[in-house]
């Protein structure tokens, strides 16, 4: 019995290694080496991170090439650590800009590459921030300061010229201007000779211009002909416009103008009402006036908005991944219903090292079970008579549920929860920047409670498999299920699709553009 078990498990292991080797060779042949491009790690120092956090996008030329991994607090500023795709080359002399998409958009890091440099930065280098760069927050703050300065200037002018002293000062300014004009008139009268000389020089210049125009008379004629053609076009346009403005169209235009007058009347009424509201607000009347004039109310509003922002921060950082995997079981003479298995899972990541998994599986353990009971009796002559009776027919549902909590420690992860509706645990190993992952799941402890002859037996059900990503969204899988249980392990291969919330946003945006 021991030799048979070892032989079966050895066959399963050899088959899995051969299948993964063939699959890897096929991927390397068709797509090239998927592990050639390793992630590069860089860092930068910012005086104000301005909303930058883990998983913040890193872009260059507007294209996302990486994301922020962590932020370290320094005595002055903060050190932002981020990774960039290995295929992206960053020349020396490049710098970082902190940008945002729109006034209310998300913040991201932009790598402005120095195209004049031929030397490249090595992984682990620090990319400086451009000191002269002003982000949207600084710009809005500057605009607010300018608006306050303009308001201060207008109030000052009102105080200066709105009083009796101010009016007298303004009259003095007008009198001074009149005196300056009189002085200028006297100056011109005293400089008549110089002005005459200037006019004579101007006359000579005009004579030279006439001579020049005479030499280029042909070109001037061409210009005049072009102007004449343009005048003809304007006449045609005027005639067509006159035709449009007559007859039925004239009534339409008059109606449009009348409607415009009505609209302007409505705008004037609305403006007057708005002015009344503004006056009440300035006097502190009404709820809005008290809200604006009272500092304690404004402070309470700021505190409330800050609390709401803190409450919504986890939802804003939530990362959603949709994963589908199809498996083709290779075991012959299997006791299980169907030759394919399907798994649809939804990952909800609240942090880069933690996520929740919810999904359903088309379990290979789903099957129809019928227990056959044999009864041996003797007839009147003493001969044995065997009777077979089928009882306790059971149709097990193939749909199973997955509810798991996962925690990742660098390249190693652990999971626990429900695996295909059974309690269990799992371990994951991530290699080559997550392009290759291997997993071992242990669940369904003990024998199958059914009394059928072909029921699954064993201390626990073990499932081992590996996922190889050929692109960020497509991967191949292979492994074995029901290891350590009878009647026998099941080998399988398959493929899967995985989409993140960024991919789904891109697809939805492309669909909206098509419409």
The domains found in the chain, sorted by start residue, are: 2-27+318-368+397-514 (2.40.160), 40-138 (no CATH)
Lowest-confidence range among 35-44, 119-128, 366-375?
A: 366-375
Alpha-carbon distance 474 to 386, whole Å? 56
Residue 276 makes CB contacts below 8 A (sequence gap 6+) with none
Alpha-helix residue ranges (DSSP H) falling in 191-247: 192-215, 217-244
CB-CB contact of 403 with 378 (8 Å): no
| Model confidence at 289: pLDDT above 60 | yes
CA angle centred on 9, ends 5 and 12, rounded to 5°: 145
Could you please report the per-residue DSSP string of 167-185? HHHHHHHHHHHHHHHHHHH
Q: What percent of the chain has pLDDT over 90?
A: 21
Residue pointed to by tokens 């795709």:
85
The candidate with the shortest Cα–Cα distance to 109, out of 127, 97, 101, 121, is 97
The residue-averaged pLDDT of 290-319 equals 67
Higher pLDDT, 175 or 427: 427
Edge-to-edge strands, sheet with 107-112: 40-46, 78-84, 63-73, 57-60, 107-112, 95-100
Lowest-confidence range among 6-15, 57-66, 368-377, 478-487?
A: 368-377
The candidate with the shortest Cα–Cα distance to 115, out of 46, 61, 37, is 61
CA 128 remoteness from chain centre: 24
- Report the DSSP beta bridge partners of residue 96: 111, 129
| Model confidence at 368: pLDDT above 60 | no
pLDDT in the model for residue 28? 62
pLDDT in the model for residue 199? 84
pLDDT in the model for residue 84? 94
Alpha-carbon distance 72 to 78, whole Å? 6
Confidence grade of residue 3 (pLDDT, cut at 50, 70, 90): very low
| Model confidence at 20: pLDDT above 80 | yes
The residue-averaged pLDDT of 428-439 equals 92
CB-CB contact of 447 with 468 (8 Å): no
Residue 110 makes CB contacts below 8 A (sequence gap 6+) with 59, 60, 96, 97, 98, 99
Alpha-carbon distance 135 to 113, whole Å? 18
Higher pLDDT, 143 or 436: 436
φ, ψ at 442 (rounded to 5°) = -125, 120
| Model confidence at 367: pLDDT above 50 | no
Confidence grade of residue 72 (pLDDT, cut at 50, 70, 90): very high
| Model confidence at 134: pLDDT above 80 | no
pLDDT in the model for residue 42? 94
Alpha-carbon distance 113 to 84, whole Å? 13
pLDDT in the model for residue 491? 85
The candidate with the shortest Cα–Cα distance to 105, out of 39, 51, 49, is 51
Highest mean pLDDT among 121-130, 323-332, 449-458: 121-130
Confidence grade of residue 209 (pLDDT, cut at 50, 70, 90): confident
pLDDT in the model for residue 393? 46
Alpha-carbon distance 337 to 238, whole Å? 83
Alpha-carbon distance 59 to 368, whole Å? 54
Read off the pTM. Answer: 0.39
φ, ψ at 482 (rounded to 5°) = 65, 30
pLDDT in the model for residue 2? 42
Confidence grade of residue 337 (pLDDT, cut at 50, 70, 90): very low
pLDDT in the model for residue 103? 58
The residue-averaged pLDDT of 464-472 equals 93
Q: Distance between terminal CA atoms of the chain? A: 66
Cα Dmax for the chain: 160
| Model confidence at 418: pLDDT above 80 | yes
Considering the chain, what is the average pLDDT of its residues? Answer: 78
Q: What is the DSSP letter of 38?
A: P
Confidence grade of residue 468 (pLDDT, cut at 50, 70, 90): very high
């Amino acid at each position: 019995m021991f030799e048979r078990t070892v032989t079966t498990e050895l066959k399963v292991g050899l088959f899995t290694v051969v299948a993964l080797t063939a699959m890897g060779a096929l991927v390397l042949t068709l797509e090239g080496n998927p592990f050639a491009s390793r992630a590069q790690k860089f860092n930068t120092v910012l005086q104000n991170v301005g909303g930058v956090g883990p998983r913040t996008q890193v872009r260059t030329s507007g294209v996302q090439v990486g994301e922020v991994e962590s932020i370290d607090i320094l005595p002055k500023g903060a050190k932002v650590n981020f990774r960039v795709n290995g295929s992206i080359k960053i020349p020396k002399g490049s710098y970082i800009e902190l940008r945002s998409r729109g006034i209310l958009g998300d913040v991201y890091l932009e790598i402005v590459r120095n195209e004049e440099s031929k030397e490249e930065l090595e992984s682990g280098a620090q990319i400086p921030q451009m000191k002269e760069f002003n982000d949207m927050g600084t710009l809005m703050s500057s605009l607010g300061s300018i608006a306050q300065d303009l308001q201060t200037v207008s109030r000052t002018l009102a105080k200066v010229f709105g009083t009796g002293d101010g009016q007298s000062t303004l009259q003095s300014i007008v009198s001074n201007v009149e005196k300056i004009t009189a002085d200028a008139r006297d100056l011109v009268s005293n400089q008549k000779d110089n002005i005459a000389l200037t006019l004579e020089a101007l006359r000579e210049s005009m004579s030279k211009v006439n001579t020049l125009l005479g030499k280029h008379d042909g070109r001037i004629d061409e210009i005049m002909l072009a102007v004449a053609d343009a005048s003809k076009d304007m006449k045609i346009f005027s005639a067509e416009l006159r035709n449009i403005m007559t007859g039925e169209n004239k009534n339409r235009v008059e109606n449009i103008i009348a409607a415009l007058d009505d609209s302007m009347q409505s705008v004037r009424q609305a403006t007057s009402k708005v002015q009344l509201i503004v006056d009440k607000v300035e006097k502190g009347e009404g709820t809005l006036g008290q809200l604006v004039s009272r500092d304690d109310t404004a402070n309470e509003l700021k505190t409330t908005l800050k609390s709401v922002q803190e409450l919504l921060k986890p939802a804003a950082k939530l990362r959603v991944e949709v994963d589908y995997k199809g498996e083709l079981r290779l075991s012959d003479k299997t006791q299980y219903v169907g030759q394919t298995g399907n798994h649809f899972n939804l990952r909800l990541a609240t942090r880069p090292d933690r996520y929740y998994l919810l999904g359903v599986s088309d379990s290979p353990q789903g099957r129809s079970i019928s227990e056959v009971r044999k009864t041996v009796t003797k007839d009147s002559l003493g001969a044995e008579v065997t009777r077979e009776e089928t009882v306790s027919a059971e149709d097990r549902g193939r749909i199973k549920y997955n509810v798991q909590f996962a925690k990742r420690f660098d390249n190693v992860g652990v999971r626990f929860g429900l695996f295909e509706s059974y309690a269990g645990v799992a371990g994951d190993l991530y290699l080559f920047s997550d392009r290759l992952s291997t997993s071992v799941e242990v669940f369904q402890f003990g024998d199958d409670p059914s009394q059928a002859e072909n029921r699954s037996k064993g201390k626990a059900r073990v499932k081992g498999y590996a996922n190889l990503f050929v692109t960020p969204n497509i991967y191949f899988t292979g492994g074995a299920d029901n290891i350590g249980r009878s009647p026998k392990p099941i080998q399988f291969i398959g493929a899967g699709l995985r989409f993140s919330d960024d991919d789904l946003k891109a697809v939805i945006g492309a669909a909206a553009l098509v419409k």
